[in-house]
Amino acid sequence: MTARAQGENAAMQQVSCTECLAKVQVRKTAWEQTSIQWSGEALELCRERPACPSGSLPRDQFVGCETLRAALRDATARGSLELEEHAAAS
C-alpha cells in the first residue's frame, strides 16, 4: 500500500478548540500535513469564523481558526494527536 493510500484510510481523531470547544475530526499524516474535517456544528461554534469577510473571492473564504491551529500543534507536541506514520508503526 502506498503512503497516500495509507493516509486516506487512516482513522480521524477528534480535537477540540480550546476557545469555543468546537470539535473537528483530524488526520495528521506528517508534521507538515494535517487534514481537518469541520462539521456544521463546529463551524457554528467557531468564534473566529464570523470575523472573516464574506464574499465569493478566495481571499474572502474562511481558511481556519488560529486558536484551533494552536490546539492542534499543542496536541501533536503532547502526543495526544498521533502522527499516522507513528500509528502505523505501532
**pLDDT, tens digit (0-9, with 9 covering 90-100), for 18-50:** 999 999 999 998 888 899 999 989 988 998 887
- Which residues, 6 or more positions from 23, have their beta carbon under 8 angstroms from its beta carbon? 14, 15, 16, 17, 39, 41, 42
Q: Where are the domains of the chain?
A: 18-88
Task: Give the model's confidence band at 2: pLDDT under 50 very low, under 70 low, under 90 confident, else very high.
Answer: very low
Q: How would DSSP label each residue in 33-58?
A: EEEEE--HHHHHH-SSGGGS--SSSG
Nearest to 7 by CA among 26, 23, 24, 22: 26
Nearest to 66 by CA among 48, 80, 84: 48
Q: Identify whether the C-beta of residue 72 lies closer than 8 Å to the C-beta of residue 25.
A: no
Q: Identify whether the C-beta of residue 75 lies closer than 8 Å to the C-beta of residue 83.
A: no
pTM of the prediction? 0.70
